[in-house]
Amino acid sequence: MHTPLRLEALDLLLDTITRMRPLVESIESVDRDLARQIRRAASSAALNLAEADGSDRGNRRARLHTALGSLREARVGLRVAVAWGYVDDVAEAERALDRVAAMTWGLLRR
């Protein structure tokens, strides 16, 4: 069942990934592994949000939990990059990932 909140979360995440691209490319220039992990986590979150949309109730919850974990992984990956001095400002991306995570949490609570 399609819900506006799920579609809104996915749309926001896809927009966030687009805006994260320059950050991840900067990270990649000094730490290819970390950049790859951030990319995988963000992609996993989007794909799991989409998969949840077409799943039965049990699998839907599992996919949403996986998406939530991947969102947190991507966010911390950006913070690790700041800690290593690879990039300076990830606040906008963090806020957007937090918003998608909150929306995903809301979907789990339904």
Q: What is the pLDDT along the chain (110 residues), one digit of tens a residue?
A: 455 777 899 999 999 999 999 999 999 999 999 999 999 999 999 999 999 988 888 899 999 999 999 999 999 999 999 999 999 999 999 999 999 999 999 999 98
Name residue 86's amino acid. Answer: Y
CATH H superfamily, domain 4-108: 23S rRNA-intervening sequence (1.20.1440.60)
What does each C-alpha distance from 87 to 5, 10, 12, 79, 82 come to in angstroms?
32, 26, 23, 9, 5
- Dihedral sign, CA of 99, 39, 16, 19? positive
Around Cβ 95, how many Cβ atoms within 10 Å?
12
The answer to whether 45 touches 71, Cβ cutoff 8 Å, is: yes
- Give the global pTM: 0.92
What does each C-alpha distance from 70 to 1, 29, 85, 88 come to in angstroms?
23, 23, 23, 22
